[in-house]
Chain A
Amino acid sequence: MNNENEKKKFRLIPQVMLLFAISVLVTGVITFFVQSSISNTAIRHQTESRASEIAEETATAIREYPAYDRLLSYWYTHANDLAIEYDAEYGAETETEAKCRTLTEHCPGVQLKYMTKQQLDAMDPEDQKLYAEVAYSWLITRLNQIKRAYHIDFLFCVAADEAYGTQFFLLSAADPGATRGTSYEEVYPLGHTVTVGADQQEAMRSAKANASHLANAGDYVDYYTFLGEAEGRPVFIGMTFNLSGLRSSSASQARRETLYAMLFQIFLSLICLILIYRFVLQPLKKVQKNIRLYKETKDSRTITESLKEIKTRNESGDLSKDVSALAAEMDDFIGRIETITAEKERVSTELSMATRIQAAMLPHVFPPFPERGEFDIYANMDPAKEVGGDFYDFFLIDDDHLGVVMADVSGKGVPAALFMMASKIILQSCAMLGGSPAEILTKTNEAICSNNQEEMFVTVWMGILEISSGRLTAANAGHEYPALQKSPDGPLELVKDKHGLVIGAMPAIKYREYELQMLPGTKLFLYTDGVPEATDDDGNMFGAERMLAALNEEPHAEPVRVLQNVRRAVDGFVKDAEQFDDLTMLCLEYKGNQTENAS
């Protein structure tokens, strides 16, 4: 158990670390994508603005020639007839320069570069061709300069067909030393026609409508601007950029930014972990340690002292205070329990002693009068609690008179037992003073009523048996009917005798008495209501019928046996139900004068 706990010492840290690791990864991924998308957009904007700048400059270079649209048309229609000098340098001894001189001679006073449409139209065809060649050469040189200045991959001017499916190359800038041709990696000459893809077509259409558009093709991006028309065909300035360099630099920047973001988050996570350890885990471990210590020692003072060291002002601090308080309460509680237990033990000891005292107060040696063969008597009292309120009694008033008493004090337990003790002593004292049962009960009632604040009462059946004759004089103060055997062969039956009020209820009660004759070999059975009112688990009572049946199982057996029969019947009836009233029985067998019988 302990080992296992040691192993799981800091389960929270790995759990939180896992969470942080996941969040660092998520942050990384998000940052990377955001950064990439931002830089891609930036590159696009940057490219677009640069391209439009270049296009503007290129268009200006072309439009500087007042007759540029005538020239475009001428180049388009005469592409194969022109003898063009590509990529010549200004000022050198070039064919173009020679052509210029020829033209200047033919058209004196005309500034070649700024020749108007009218002037061009007025020239003869030979000169028009020459001028077209010269202007073309000049423009190519200019475009080459622009291309070089801006480090563009391709810069060109094309005429598209009506369906935008092909491009007719009018102008195409080249780097110094590049070869002109129609093969791959050569710079296209005038009149070369290429088929273009959907992207390029779309870009050109869009350029015609909105003036500019980008078309992507891998790392290359094409940009088109509408320039004008030649022979009814749209003419575009186009350029191509290689974005791979820009892209890779932006990607590496995005990676760098992502790395920084992740490192920052890892740093924050570490600080978080340290704080959790310091402010949560450590105090928690300490609280746990102290709880375990308390479990072993049950000493709240030690752990309260120890827990005071936890000074964190958060829930773990509160927890340690609560644990201290709880431990103190537990101590207090345990202390109280100990006191209560000790008290209980004392009471229990006293009660068991009281049980013994009470039992000793009742005649409990059987046979009680071994020398008297004229009668046999047996009785027992089984209290529901440690002490009971029932009692029986029998005593020889004189040689010929046996007093028999069965009584039941209201209630149970200690109060009933105290009242029972007083009642028994008073009753026996009164009996010993002499008198009939009615007189004895009347006197007893007076004595008890004089000091009965608690309104306790006791039901008493009292009889005095004249041993020599079997005449039984009895009086009943609110007690159960006795059972009597009228003849030795007959059954025990209830005697519905005259009842007086219970003793202790009212002063100045006169009790009446009656006489019964006991024949030799008959029995008298006395009991308290605990017998007929013994109750089973379903609330059913044992009842007088069952009691009589049990009595008459063996009516001729000895008194002890008769009581055993009743007891067994009661136990069989109530089964496991708790006994809730005292259970007291007495059986007197009158045997008559033995000497007479013998003779």
Chain B
Amino acid sequence: MKEANKLTVNKIIDGNRLTLSLDGHLNAASAIELDALLSESLDGVTDLVFDFSELKYISSAGMRVLLSTQKKMNSRGSMKITGASNSIIEIFDITGFTDIFTIESRR
């Protein structure tokens, strides 16, 4: 549970486009880290992409970070979630976030 639930974030900046690839579990603890990372990385970014191909789990705290990021990006550009697995998409469905986030499914 300790090691398995770690989150690693790979950050790629390409002009105004920032791609964050998340690997692991986005839970209460890692959500705080992601929030901190986002608050220092979003300057000048107009095109934000979350790559969820390797994301295993997302908690409500994680979704809170996505929600607040979505609200920030609404005023300056776009935010997109790609590669999310079915179980993650199901969570988005259940919580109704599918309507708010731009989600590109795996296929």
Q: Which residues of A come within 8 Å of B, CB atoms?
A: 408-412, 455-457, 459, 477-481, 499-502, 505-506, 529, 533, 535-539, 541, 577-578, 580-581
Contacts and interface: CB of A to CB of B under 8 A. Distances in A.
Nearest to B91: A529
Do most interface residues of chain A lie in helix, strand or loop, or is the interface mixed? loop
Nearest to B64: A410
Nearest to A541: B57
A451 to B, nearest CB: 15
Contacts of B28: 411-412, 580
B61 A577 contact: no
Contact of A412 (B61, B63, B93): B61
B1 A410 contact: no
A578 B61 contact: no
Given A409-B60, A506-B100, A539-B25, 12 more contacts: A411-B60, A411-B64, A412-B28, A456-B64, A477-B96, A478-B95, A480-B94, A481-B94, A502-B63, A533-B57, A535-B1, A538-B1
A410 B94 contact: no
A501 B60 contact: no
Nearest to A577: B1
B59 to A, nearest CB: 7
Contact of B95 (A501, A541, A578, A580): A501
A35 to B, nearest CB: 76
Most central of B63, B94, B99 by chain A CB within 10 Å: B94
B100 A539 contact: no
Contact of B63 (A410, A533, A536): A410
Do most interface residues of chain B lie in helix, strand or loop, or is the interface mixed? helix
B27 interface: yes
B62 to A, nearest CB: 9
B68 A501 contact: no
Contacts of B71: 455
22 contacts: A408-B60, A410-B63, A411-B28, A411-B60, A411-B61, A455-B67, A455-B71, A456-B64, A477-B96, A478-B95, A479-B95, A499-B93, A499-B96, A501-B100, A502-B95, A506-B100, A533-B57, A537-B1, A539-B5, A539-B25, A541-B57, A580-B1
Nearest to A505: B67
B27 to A, nearest CB: 7
B93 A529 contact: no
A538 B95 CA distance: 26
Interface residues of B, number: 23
B4 A457 contact: no
Contacts of A538: 1, 4
A538 B2 CA distance: 9
Most central of B1, B28, B99, B100 by chain A CB within 10 Å: B1
B1 A455 contact: no
A17 to B, nearest CB: 58
A502 B97 CA distance: 8
Interface in B1-55: 1, 4-5, 25, 27-28, 31
Given A501-B99, A580-B27, A410 B4 contact: no
Contacts of B94: 459, 478-481, 499
Nearest to B65: A455
Interface of B: 1, 4-5, 25, 27-28, 31, 57, 59-61, 63-64, 67-68, 71, 93-97, 99-100
Given A459-B95, A501-B96, A502-B96, A581 B1 contact: no
A538 to B, nearest CB: 7
A499 B4 contact: no
Contacts of B61: 410-412
B97 to A, nearest CB: 7
A409 B60 CA distance: 8
Contacts of A541: 57
A580 B2 CA distance: 11
Most central of A411, A477, A481 by chain B CB within 10 Å: A411
Nearest to A503: B96
B51 to A, nearest CB: 21
A82 B67 CA distance: 146
Given A411-B28, A535-B1, A505 B97 contact: yes
A505 B59 contact: no
Contacts of B95: 459, 478-479, 499, 501-502
Contacts of A505: 67, 96-97, 100
A541 B4 CA distance: 12
B27 A455 contact: no
B32 to A, nearest CB: 10
A5 B21 CA distance: 63
A410 B35 CA distance: 14
A533 B94 CA distance: 14
Most central of A457, A459, A500, A581 by chain B CB within 10 Å: A457
A457 B31 CA distance: 15
Nearest to B99: A501
B1 A457 contact: no
A410 B96 contact: no
Contacts of A537: 1
Contacts of B31: 411
Contacts of B67: 455, 457, 505
A555 to B, nearest CB: 24
B10 to A, nearest CB: 21
A581 B57 CA distance: 14
Contacts of A535: 1, 5
B85 to A, nearest CB: 14
Contacts of B97: 478, 501-502, 505
A479 B59 CA distance: 13
A539 B24 CA distance: 11
A225 B58 CA distance: 115
Most central of B4, B60, B93, B99 by chain A CB within 10 Å: B60
Most central of A477, A478, A577 by chain B CB within 10 Å: A478
A536 B2 CA distance: 11
Contacts of B64: 410-411, 455-457
A580 B27 CA distance: 10
A566 B62 CA distance: 27
A477 B99 CA distance: 12
A410 B60 contact: yes
B101 to A, nearest CB: 10
B60 A459 contact: yes
Nearest to B96: A501
